[in-house]
Chain A
């Protein structure tokens, strides 16, 4: 069977046919099978032979005739007595036949069949009515079927078992490879690009086998694309940074030779080089996140210590500019995610807040665990931004121009990176103006409860 369609169709078709036949058989066995012409003919012939032998050859002739039959038979004379001796093994036939004759209250005119015996009337050449009795053929099978006929519970149980086994095998045959395929897809989604459906699946000849082969082909292509994209990103990074590296060293060399005369200019050049470098780094990070390349494994991340570390580092950095980062409260909190990316998201938001906070003031950071959701709040004490542009701050290179908002040092990608990372983790990031001044950035992520 090559196709799944055929497998499903034939399985159900055969099951239904078999069950129907079984039902029919158990209900109608006795009448249909036993009254078939073959059985009747055999009995009639044996009866005629036995009576002829007895009438023509007496007891000796009868014994010889009976000996030639494959099954033991017993001949009754017109008075209902057994002709000759009852041979060993035939007692049950005699008993069954006598019971039958007694229950009918007289000699039968036509063959009578019960579960145990068949009684065939035969008229001898001399005109006397004899009876031949024999065991009902296939006694055991028929007896079993007859029992079933009398016990519907057993019959239904057998039906349920047969149907259950067939359907179970069929269902497993179909779903087992799908489960395997799903696991493979999950592995790939987790970044294990070498995961494949496997031989057991791809060598099947049905539709699932075709799906498996197509899946593996797709996986090959995907892996090749990801590898080439990764290579491209590395190459771009290398090619862009090599001249920058030479430039920085050259500036250092010039500074070494000329000394303090042009120090301010050198500082300026180094600052611009630093900006370019940051810009390249952030662009590449953004490209990596968007392409899904280099995304590490999703695992349980301790958001609490992550936020605490970022706040501590941010505070260190902010003090250099006369600002502070204050951690108002942190709840214990675990989320599932890529730790490095989450770190860079929160870090970018905090750094952005430091940049816009008025000197002497502080950035407030808060981590709340609300049961199913973790909420990270970062509030700066700066000028805020016009309400109409609140959404735009998460777009790449979108620097919001507002009064009192000086030209920033950032490359303009920090919040865009945070936005991509949070969305990659299925969370949301929003910005709003706080009454009393300042911008509030709010990150909401799903909390992981699976691990304690």
Chain B
């Protein structure tokens, strides 16, 4: 069954073009202008993913994103103004799963949509090591749940995937390239700092190690490492 997508953008012409392209790529696409009714549509319409332009005039796109997130864990891919780091960070903070700066290549959009859908899809049974435990951190890969010191930590889909990737290789350095390629499921582009944004959010949400020191260490010019308990900080 073809995944149904909802594209929310105030630019009707762009919406039509994108819809035509994505239809050609095998998706079922509907469009919305970004009014208040779109929140209901998005959360109850049975869509597989929302493409949301956060630069909507009038009703703020971030507002829409916040309301969609409050109502459902539906994957959201946001379109941002290029180079506006603040928009990007805010969007990821509010729970967007990925972002694409405008203007975007439609092939890239289709690839990102597939990557997000793949990550958001419920995992099949029999997957090895569904529960990962390192120190006081526990990750339930099946339920996509993170608990730290017994308390549930609220993480976005992308943050969960990054953390899972790091924890699976706990004690080893995972390169930024590998994180982007394998965890976020898209081509690595240098000078793209999205992965660093996710890491900094994870650091803030998880806090320091019980004994002090960073849980996630940055290895300059290489990548990141989730420290095993007992390792020197």
Interface residues of A (CB under 8 A from B): 234, 237-238, 241-242, 244-250, 252-253, 256-257, 270, 273, 277, 281, 284-285, 304-305, 308-314, 316-317, 327, 340, 347
Can you list, as one digit per residue, whether each of B39-59 has a CB less than 8 Å from chain A (1) or not (0)?
A: 000000000000000010000
Q: A241-B82, A242-B11 are in contact. Are A312 and B221 (CB under 8 A)?
A: yes
B231 → A minimal CB distance (Å):
21
Q: Choose one: B21, B55, B188, B191; the contact of A249 (CB below 8 Å).
A: B21
Whether A253 contacts B81 by the Cβ 8 Å rule is no
B16 → A minimal CB distance (Å):
9
Whether B103 contacts A252 by the Cβ 8 Å rule is no
Whether B104 contacts A234 by the Cβ 8 Å rule is no
For residue B191, which residue of chain A has the nearest CB?
A313
Q: Can you list 23 A-B pairs with a CB-CB distance of less than 8 A?
A: A241-B81, A242-B11, A244-B103, A245-B102, A246-B14, A248-B103, A248-B106, A249-B17, A249-B18, A249-B103, A249-B104, A252-B107, A253-B20, A253-B21, A257-B24, A277-B82, A284-B83, A305-B218, A308-B220, A308-B221, A312-B222, A313-B191, A327-B221
Whether B81 contacts A234 by the Cβ 8 Å rule is yes
For residue B25, which residue of chain A has the nearest CB?
A256
B177 located at the interface, meaning its Cβ lies under 8 Å from any Cβ of chain A in the complex: yes
Interface residues of B (CB under 8 A from A): 11, 13-14, 17-18, 20-21, 24-25, 55, 81-83, 85, 102-107, 177, 188, 190-191, 218, 220-222
A301 → B minimal CB distance (Å):
14
Residues of B within 8 Å of A327, CB to CB, are: 221
A338 → B minimal CB distance (Å):
11
Residues of A within 8 Å of B18, CB to CB, are: 249
Q: Choose one: A237, A256, A347; the contact of B21 (CB below 8 Å).
A: A256
Residues of A within 8 Å of B82, CB to CB, are: 237, 241, 277, 281
Q: Give Cα A250–Cα B105 distance, bound, in whole angstroms.
A: 10
Q: Give Cα A260–Cα B222 distance, bound, in whole angstroms.
A: 38
Whether B105 contacts A248 by the Cβ 8 Å rule is yes
Q: Choose one: A246, A253, A309, A317; the contact of B220 (CB below 8 Å).
A: A309
Q: Give Cα A317–Cα B222 distance, bound, in whole angstroms.
A: 15
Whether A316 contacts B220 by the Cβ 8 Å rule is no
Whether B106 contacts A249 by the Cβ 8 Å rule is yes
Residues of A within 8 Å of B104, CB to CB, are: 245, 248-249
For residue A314, which residue of chain B has the nearest CB?
B190
Residues of B within 8 Å of A273, CB to CB, are: 103
Q: A253-B17, A317-B190 are in contact. Are A246 and B11 (CB under 8 A)?
A: yes
Q: Give Cα A416–Cα B55 distance, bound, in whole angstroms.
A: 28
B173 → A minimal CB distance (Å):
13
Q: Give Cα A250–Cα B104 distance, bound, in whole angstroms.
A: 11
Whether A347 contacts B14 by the Cβ 8 Å rule is no
Whether A246 contacts B102 by the Cβ 8 Å rule is no
Residues of B within 8 Å of A311, CB to CB, are: 221
For residue A276, which residue of chain B has the nearest CB?
B103
Q: Give Cα A311–Cα B191 distance, bound, in whole angstroms.
A: 10
B8 → A minimal CB distance (Å):
15
Q: Give Cα A16–Cα B220 distance, bound, in whole angstroms.
A: 68
A238 → B minimal CB distance (Å):
6
Q: Give Cα A312–Cα B83 distance, bound, in whole angstroms.
A: 21
Whether B105 contacts A252 by the Cβ 8 Å rule is yes
Q: Give Cα A381–Cα B230 distance, bound, in whole angstroms.
A: 47
B208 → A minimal CB distance (Å):
19
Whether A237 contacts B81 by the Cβ 8 Å rule is yes
Q: Choose one: A253, A281, A305; the contact of B106 (CB below 8 Å).
A: A253
Residues of A within 8 Å of B218, CB to CB, are: 305
Whether B13 contacts A246 by the Cβ 8 Å rule is yes
For residue A278, which residue of chain B has the nearest CB?
B82
Whether A250 contacts B17 by the Cβ 8 Å rule is yes
Residues of B within 8 Å of A285, CB to CB, are: 83
Whether B11 contacts A245 by the Cβ 8 Å rule is yes
Q: A277-B82, A281-B82, A285-B83 are in contact. Are A241 and B103 (CB under 8 A)?
A: yes
Q: Choose one: B55, B85, B103, B222; the contact of A340 (CB below 8 Å).
A: B85
Q: Choose one: B11, B14, B107, B188; the contact of A316 (CB below 8 Å).
A: B188
Whether B177 contacts A316 by the Cβ 8 Å rule is yes
A451 → B minimal CB distance (Å):
18
Q: Give Cα A250–Cα B18 distance, bound, in whole angstroms.
A: 8
Residues of B within 8 Å of A257, CB to CB, are: 24
For residue A280, which residue of chain B has the nearest CB?
B82
Whether B220 contacts A304 by the Cβ 8 Å rule is yes
Residues of A within 8 Å of B11, CB to CB, are: 242, 245-246
Residues of B within 8 Å of A312, CB to CB, are: 190, 221-222
